Structure 1
């Protein structure tokens, strides 16, 4: 069972991280606890599986990345783990997922790359293809961003 303090911490962690040298100190002060108490609670939440990770979301369009390409790859079943780990390790890949296939959709690995334009995305994708030695893929470009939010709990 989560305490009122736990819920306050979770609500605070859902907000934007303050742009200060010690963001957790600022967050802790707003909650009314010490930075050490907050960091201990975060570690406790992680060890209990309540919190998986804390991550930042970059608004890629505002940062100058106008092209977003989801690349769907047809990876041999025996190579999925190896190829998936290689793709996921590349700095240019922001998302990497294994997906179920069907008779009409044989692509089993999905990756996301961003570029300032389509040409830059295509150069990145070619580099990935050369690295993993797989050329059976399709590029699906985003046409419009409809929603970009994270889950909110205890509001």
Structure 2
């Protein structure tokens, strides 16, 4: 019996350490992620700007698919959570477009953002070749980043509306 109490005490101590420890190691944004990305963009931290915005939008795409699956398909979240986590940005946008949860314009914006992210991530450290830089122009970055920033808030509203509509049915 003493052994069981010892195990319980050790488990409680480990859980307490884990819950306190993560705050030291997990980096958080000072602002809401899209706003953090926009500030990074304004301060010419383009790599950070596109990385944060892309990551945040990917999480919203997952949330949108989860909302649809749990509300419209009456699926248990546990049944779809793991599969949803295996889908990458491009697959999420494809699925959401096919099931009409995003418009063609939103789909195109998502694909542009994904291409921009890949171009920046994979070409950021290229050296110029014969005085030609194969990076992303400011004009191109701006034409993709701003609509993507706006879309991040549109996705949040879309998800909230889905849950709100479902709650109003009850």
Q: TM-score, normalised by structure 1?
A: 0.22
Larger radius of gyration: 2
Q: TM-score, normalised by structure 2?
A: 0.21
Higher share of residues assigned strand: 1
Larger relative contact order (CA 8 Å, sep ≥ 6): 1
